A and B are shown apart, each in its own frame.
Chain A
Amino acid sequence: MNELDRDIVRVLFDSEAIEKRVSEMGKEISEAYKGVVPILVGVLKGCIMFMSDLIKHIKIPLKMDFIAVSSYHGTQPTSGAVRIVKDLDHVIEGRELLVIEGIVDTGMTVGYILRNLQARQPKSIRLCTFLDKPARRIVNVPIDFCGYKIPDRFVVGYGLDFLQLYRNLPYVGILKDQVTGLEKT
Chain B
Amino acid sequence: MAVITISREPGAFGEEIAARLAGKLGFMLVDKSRLVDYWSEVDPDAASIKNDDEWIPLDDLDIDSETEATVRLLPELIVQLAEDHDLVVIGRGAQGLFRNCPGTLHVKIVASRQFRVRNIQSNEEMSSREARRWTRDLENQRFRYLRFLYHLNWADPNLYDLTLQMNRLSIDQALNLICCAVDEMQIQQVQRSQIIENIVSESEEDRENDHFVHFSEEEFARFLEFYGIPFSYEPDSFPLETNAEGKVVEAFTPDFYLPEQDLYIELTTMKQSLVTRKNRKVRKLRKLYPEINIRIFYQRDFYRLMAKYGLLAPESETADHEPKKEEL
Contact = CB atoms under 8 A, between A and B. Distances in A.
A85 B318 CA distance: 22
A111 to B, nearest CB: 7
B322 to A, nearest CB: 8
Interface string B35-59: 0000000000000000000000111
Contacts of B219: 74
A37 interface: no
A71 B59 contact: no
Given A81-B228, A115-B59, A163-B321, 14 more contacts: A70-B326, A71-B328, A75-B311, A81-B225, A85-B326, A108-B227, A112-B228, A116-B61, A154-B304, A164-B327, A178-B314, A179-B313, A181-B307, A185-B312
A45 interface: yes
Contacts of A185: 299-300, 303, 312
B273 to A, nearest CB: 14
Contacts of A69: 328
Interface string A151-184: 0101000000011110000000000001111101
A23 interface: no
The 3 closest A-B pairs by CB, nearest first: A181-B312, A185-B303, A180-B307
B221 to A, nearest CB: 11
Given A70-B328, A85-B328, A164-B327, A139 B307 contact: no
Given A70-B325, A71-B323, A74-B219, A82 B227 contact: yes
Nearest to A75: B311
Counting chain B CB atoms within 10 Å of each CB, the highest count among A69, A75, A178, A181 belongs to: A181
B172 interface: no
Counting chain A CB atoms within 10 Å of each CB, the highest count among B310, B314, B326 belongs to: B310
A163 B287 CA distance: 42
B60 to A, nearest CB: 9
18 contacts: A74-B306, A75-B311, A85-B326, A85-B328, A108-B229, A119-B59, A138-B261, A138-B263, A139-B229, A154-B308, A180-B307, A180-B313, A181-B311, A181-B317, A182-B303, A182-B304, A185-B300, A185-B303
Contacts of A82: 226-228
A119 B62 contact: yes
Contacts of A178: 314
Given A164-B321, A182-B304, A72 B59 contact: no
B228 A73 contact: no
A140 interface: yes
A44 interface: yes
A85 B227 CA distance: 14
A144 B303 CA distance: 29
A185 B314 CA distance: 12
Nearest to A43: B328
B301 interface: yes
B325 A152 contact: no
A119 B57 contact: yes
B312 A72 contact: no
A125 interface: no
A68 interface: yes
B227 A72 contact: yes
Contacts of A179: 313-314, 317
A112 B163 CA distance: 32
A105 B308 contact: yes
